[in-house]
Structure 1
């Protein structure tokens, strides 16, 4: 199974009673528990865990998949750490970005857009439709997942068109949203998953927990050959005597 690092801002749980009551050990602890149920080797890291926010080079080198939850302090994540994570993704580490992590520095840098959207907090029911039922992240689900209380996100979601869209959400206010977006960046896989507002018990939902486990398994690097770049020797015998080069 995968070696997973669950990263969490871990501010709301310490500053707002409604969140502390819901997630007394932090959102990261609940996500880690869901992943451990799938047999994954899980560690956690948080924003205030040292100058590297718990994401040292040593930690990332031992991470197959990183999950990211942030909301109120995106700007406090140091750029050197963001670049460190980006390089690991390009080198093959999986990244699962959750809910308001759409505004994180790392997601915006990997997407190349501002990642903006519409939003509303009204404890609405979210119907998360499975629009790609054959995808591994949808394994074991029904036709849709219903989340009783959710923060609304609505289109337009300013991200590049996903390589694969797994989930599309509908809200009673009339909005829809691309809620399960798969991307490849370098040799790494990136999955954005919309549900997860801190004031609602989203991460206790059995289907959401299943999706988190499926996403980690999908994003885990495979054992295929790594890419080779730069000047290359020919595989077949060719004439290499032409010396017209500026390199």
Structure 2
């Protein structure tokens, strides 16, 4: 399945061009680091960034995308509402969506969740331990009991999201906070996964366990759907011929 799965990694690509500290960690951008890391799992990976025409998310680009990976932080409000509606439509039609780190405040995630998606944070060099709390889930395949990151930004509860369909990972931080750091949703025919780690000043997206979580989530989000629903004016059931 991986070799046929078409992934687009979307990134603002602003921090890397404005902040020397971030540029040292991701000299070609977070999107390029993710593209390289995810290509190693056999995916067909393209990229798109905020300052491209239509933010790189043209109808053609989205039509060739099975799973969209989204990273944003400092320019959420610059994303055009028409492009947000376009992405939402594709998710409802069945495109997978993986939202990373500060993408929780993106227009597309808030639109799909219907809440503020607010949380508390602290920028400090804190240890994060991500516990796998649903080891039977496909996103947890091949992972250890927990993933430890020596340095990350803290996110803490309360996280203002709808109750997840599935809770896969929970984070603990040195400061004592916990956070629902890996959650899934279904919207229409689309599958959504939010994954917490990935502050721009840390090399989180070069770490194999983190990339494996994202790769597992891509496979899960791209997997086959169930029955295709029909919407609209329906015939009486007795007049429908059911073929076996």
The structural deviation recorded for 1:221 is 4.5
Q: Give the number of equivalent residue pairs.
A: 237
Aligned to 1:180: 182
Structure 2 residue ranges without an equivalent (≥5): none
Structure 2 SS opposite 1:177: strand
Aligned to 1:41: 44
TM-score by length of 1: 0.94
Per-residue Cα deviation, 1:93-146 (whole angstroms, up to 9, x for no partner): 000000000000000000000000010011101000000000000111111000
The structural deviation recorded for 1:237 is 5.0
Contact kept, 8 Å, 1:151 with 1:197, in 2: the verdict is yes
CA distance in structure 2 between the aligned counterparts of 1:137 and 1:113, rounded to whole angstroms: 24
CA distance in structure 2 between the aligned counterparts of 1:20 and 1:43, rounded to whole angstroms: 21
| Aligned with residue 56 of structure 2, among 51, 54, 69 | 54
CA distance in structure 1 between the aligned counterparts of 2:205 and 2:154, rounded to whole angstroms: 16
**Which residues of 2 match residues 48-197 of structure 1 at below 5 A?**
48-50=51-53, 52-197=54-199
**Which residues of 2 match residues 12-27 of structure 1 at below 5 A?**
12-27=15-30
Aligned to 1:220: 222
CA distance in structure 1 between the aligned counterparts of 2:227 and 2:117, rounded to whole angstroms: 32
Flag the structure with higher helix content: 2
CA distance in structure 2 between the aligned counterparts of 1:183 and 1:211, rounded to whole angstroms: 16
The structural deviation recorded for 1:33 is 1.3
Contact kept, 8 Å, 1:34 with 1:212, in 2: the verdict is no
CA distance in structure 1 between the aligned counterparts of 2:109 and 2:207, rounded to whole angstroms: 25
| Cα RMSD (Å) | 1.1
The structural deviation recorded for 1:225 is 3.9
Contact kept, 8 Å, 1:126 with 1:149, in 2: the verdict is yes
Structure 2 SS opposite 1:184: strand
**Higher deviation after alignment, 223-232 or 36-45:** 223-232
Structure 2 SS opposite 1:97: strand
CA distance in structure 2 between the aligned counterparts of 1:225 and 1:161, rounded to whole angstroms: 24
Structure 2 SS opposite 1:189: strand
The structural deviation recorded for 1:222 is 1.4
Structure 1 SS opposite 2:201: coil
Structure 1 SS opposite 2:237: coil
Larger Rg belongs to: 1
Structure 2 SS opposite 1:213: helix
The structural deviation recorded for 1:230 is 0.9
TM-score by length of 2: 0.95
